[in-house]
Amino acid sequence: MWCSKAWAGASVAITAVAVGAYGMAVSNAATAAGGGAAWRITDQVHSGATGDFTAVAALGSNGGWAFNGISTPTAWERSGSSWKQVPFPTRGVTGPVIAAAALSPSDAWAFTQGTVTQSRVYHWNGSAWSMVHSFQRQIGGAVVLSADDVWVFGEPFIPGAYLGAWHYNGHTWTAVKTGGELEGGSGLSADDIWAFDGPDVAHWNGHAWSRTSLASLLPARQALNDPELTGIYAQSSDSVYAIGNGNQQDEGGPTVVLHWNGHTWTKVAEGNYGLGTSPLQQIVSDGGGGFWLPMPGADSQRSYLVHFTNDTLTPAALPVASSEITIDAVALIPGTTSLLGGGYTHAASNPGNNVVSVLLQYGS
């Protein structure tokens, strides 16, 4: 799920470093040398003030996808240590790719968060991307379990523009009653999916959605805040994490981590990491029992990439000062503890100026 940024500032010229069979290849920009696991920038694209890798998906140790751009997105395919741009049907697209999934070399998905009137679902069949469905509302998040089991959820960024929840069975899309709006989700199987909206979590058991309020575990409501859930991560049938934010006016925060143990919800961690929730949050497994949480700043605030492990939130060391980089997307490389990341670098405390789209990787 993608986080908005300020767009004011000078444009950066597009720089083509090399041209391949599908289009422009990104330039190498490796940083952060040294031993041990670390985040490093691996590639960059000078794509102008609207550049930003807003979604990434890993496929095995060498494959994957990334999507660059907040107005007219471009698709980038990973092959080992290199990325290349491939054609992406963007006519009429007016928003970024905010979620992506890769199931196999011939089965990948991308979801754009369009204007209030249209969001789109795209599918990769191994040779080309095509639009397979459009919604007359905004998509906030998606869960892709298989080619015939896909969920999309609405994003209430604009009042009255809710999508709700829709399910794809491999042939048709069907609106599903949820007892209220749902903004994003995380799934384990066809009968074990979690989603959230406001202070509520919702669970799909294969037949119906049930809702539970976690308002009592969120930061206290005050005169100038609006506490709510901003993300969810289903780790196993008896371990689910939900992210909440106090949404204090201007500075945002605090961030809280809530946990479901199969019986009850409890608060297990808290940190003052500000906003990073506009509109929603990606949460990705770290491959070792914890998870990674991008915390993009807003209104020139610092951005973080937070690691949750041993019931503690810890900001990661990044290859660029946190005032000069925003990471919007992360994806675990299956079977490892390494990750891919996407975002952009920018002038200090000015996310709209001197923008360079960047891809990152975490590992030894």
Helix (H) or strand (E) holding 107: strand 107-112
Taking residues 228-236, report their average pLDDT: 94
Helix (H) or strand (E) holding 307: strand 304-309
Q: Which residue has the higher pLDDT, 210 or 31?
A: 210
Do 89 and 97 meet the contact criterion of CB atoms below 8 Å apart? no
pLDDT at 280: 65
C-alpha to C-alpha distances, 300 to 3, 239, 283, 313, 324, nearest whole angstrom: 13, 35, 23, 22, 10
pLDDT at 351: 73
Q: CB 243: neighbour CB atoms within 10 A? A: 27
pLDDT at 105: 97
Q: What is the pTM (predicted TM-score) of this model?
A: 0.88
Do 298 and 278 meet the contact criterion of CB atoms below 8 Å apart? yes
Please state whether beta strands 149-154 and 139-146 pair in parallel, antiparallel, or not at all (unpaired). antiparallel
Taking residues 88-98, report their average pLDDT: 85
Q: Which residue has the higher pLDDT, 275 or 207?
A: 207
Query: What are the backbone angles phi and psi of residue 217, rounded to the nearest 5°?
Result: -100, -10
Taking residues 60-77, report their average pLDDT: 94
Please enumerate in sequence order all residues whose Cβ is within 8 A of that of 165, keeping only pairs 6 or more positions apart, or say none.
Answer: 151, 152, 153, 154, 175, 176, 178, 182, 195, 209
pLDDT at 16: 25
Q: Where are the domains of the chain?
A: 18-358
Indicate the pLDDT class of residue 322, thresholds 50, 70 and 90: confident
Residues paired with 66 in a beta bridge: 56, 76
Whether 53 has a pLDDT exceeding 80, the answer reads yes
Whether 156 has a pLDDT exceeding 90, the answer reads no
Q: Which residue has the higher pLDDT, 42 or 183?
A: 42
Structure tokens at 64: 């994957």
CATH number corresponding to 18-358 = 2.130.10.10
Closest C-alpha to 328, from 283, 286, 361, 296: 296
Residues paired with 38 in a beta bridge: 363
